[in-house]
A and B are shown apart, each in its own frame.
Chain A
Amino acid sequence: DAKTTQPNSMESNEEEPVHLPCNHSTISGTDYIHWYRQLPSQGPEYVIHGLTSNVNNRMASLAIAEDRKSSTLILHRATLRDAAVYYCILRAHPMDSNYQLIWGAGTKLIIKP
């Protein structure tokens, strides 16, 4: 069973920032927070991941709550190409036997032109 909770869907206007929330209240100290997205009819693609500190890359930013029980994926300026299902996934430390990616249903992000 997925260990994260995300809204089923969200809408945003093109060229505006998007904040995608994720709750993971049962996160353990060694769980990493990963985000992947899946565009229509394509395989998933990695977006970003973090452990405790906020992270930035060319695709997005990841803001992690101080207690680590929630996180937010931030798309700074959404385009129509960002319309996808976004998955928030907890991944155990690689030395842990439970290192698999456990996928929930994700959040379907709809971008309005």
Chain B
Amino acid sequence: NAGVMQNPRHLVRRRGQEARLRCSPMKGHSHVYWYRQLPEEGLKFMVYLQKENIIDESGMPKERFSAEFPKEGPSILRIQQVVRGDSAAYFCASSPGTAYEQFFGPGTRLTVL
């Protein structure tokens, strides 16, 4: 039973480019969460999605960031016109429901040059 998968594991972008981060939840999980982590800090919640719906995006910047979890395929976190401050590790987690523990992927480390 494969765990949560994220790709790419490392992503380098120049300022102004777009970054697309993918997350495939564990089999049977329909809830996906995205978090951002800066060095030496804890994770910061960004967005919570269920299949085809954004449930809570209160932690996501209003501009340049968007997330989706289509009926088929992985969840995608999209960052447009990246800036150096977007450099961080982005983690995706999945769960079978809100009340359950979250299972995390290995993360995508985004570096903006």
Contact = CB atoms under 8 A, between A and B. Distances in A.
Interface of A: 2, 34, 42-46, 49, 87, 94, 99-106
Given A49-B101, A105-B40, 18 more contacts: A43-B93, A43-B105, A43-B106, A43-B107, A44-B93, A45-B103, A45-B104, A46-B102, A87-B42, A94-B97, A94-B99, A100-B56, A100-B59, A101-B33, A101-B43, A102-B45, A103-B45, A105-B41
Interface of B: 4, 33, 35, 40-45, 48, 56, 59, 91, 93, 97-99, 101-107
Given A100-B48, A100-B56, A106 B99 contact: no
The interface residues of chain B, by DSSP majority, are classed as loop
A43 B104 contact: yes
Interface of A is mostly: loop
Contacts of A103: 35, 42-45
B44 A44 contact: no
A49 B41 CA distance: 22
A94 B103 contact: no
A46 B93 CA distance: 11
Contact of A94 (B45, B56, B59, B98): B98
